Structure 1
Amino acid sequence: MAGLFRKVYDWLMRTFWATEMDVTMIGLQNAGKTSLLRVLSASRQGGEFTIDSIPTIGFNMKRVQRGHVTLKCWDLGGQPRFRPMWERYCRGVSAIVFIVDLADRDILPQAKDELHSLMSQPSLIGIPLLVLGNKSDLPNKLSVDELIDSMDLKSIGEREVCCYGISAKEETNLEAVVQWLVKWAGR
């Protein structure tokens, strides 16, 4: 009987008190954006995640259900030809997620420049920023503190900024990522 009550309760929450938030996931090519989104949308922690996928050209969108919150995640291409679209897809979202390859130190200056250029856009003021250092399972990776320094995250103002080290492959720290995103739902 408790299982039936839970199903009815969950349905009522989704139907009448559901919150949908738009999240844009960006970063340079090969940072692991698509892998992260695939893992998040396929996760089944406590049966709370569900999958809804719409494949598109140049970007990808998946919905991740967590309780009464639906994260509508836009995964934008990281190649130079797609970067001019980033600002447009970041306008008005609940949160921006910028993903960096922790093991590719050579690309960090470029990632830093792209991030700071994007965050300087007046249309994005106030939108929370979550920087994820992906591939924390690889050798010779940066620590989170080194990533914060390398990306000069402390100089990004006019918004909440948070940084986590993750591994999409090993599913490390993904629960913290989802909890941080859900925290911004409805704000």
Structure 2
Amino acid sequence: VYLPNNDFLVIGGLNQIVEDKPKFSDQVLKVSEVIISPFQNFFTVNESPHMKRPRGCFASVFENGCVYVLGGFNYFDKELRACERLDTQGENKWEEIAKMTYSRKNPSACSVGSKIYVFGGGNVKCEGSNTIEQYTIDKNCWNLLKYRISKKVANCISTKVSDSKILILGGSVYDSPEDIAKSPYV
């Protein structure tokens, strides 16, 4: 996640392979650029507070001084409804926030104003989703929207293009088990 001060956080994901079973991480690393001159710089990597639970395949956004991690996957819980927030301007510790309506592995997310939108995602059976959930930050609650994405999709990118429009790009479309078998990513 890119932060407004030009730092960025590397969050979770796979950290090792043990007996053919990947292990997901709760680790967070902060990468900062140190500028020596206009032509010389270097980067430092420092450990930041760990997330409450290990996860990979999640969506993340930065909004109003906080980093949000949404859904994802780990081998204990499988696909996750659970979400967390790191207040980068306050206590700098992770806290759990309300759970999403649906579990989502490889969803996409973006923020518009004081709301976060989560799109698509899938489950361990590689069944995709076309649903959209809206998180209202000040109320700490999720709402499943009546609007749907035209295809069941995971691994897409979403970005705010105006105060009332979000653009969704790419991803893996999963309409049926046959589509999954044809996917070059399986």
| Same fold? TM cut 0.5 | no
* Band of TM-score, shorter chain: under 0.3
- Whose strand fraction is larger, Structure 1's or Structure 2's? 2
- Whose helix fraction is larger, Structure 1's or Structure 2's? 1
Relative CO higher for 1 or 2, CA cutoff 8 Å, sep ≥ 6?
A: 1
Per the normalisation by structure 1, the TM-score is 0.26
Per the normalisation by structure 2, the TM-score is 0.26
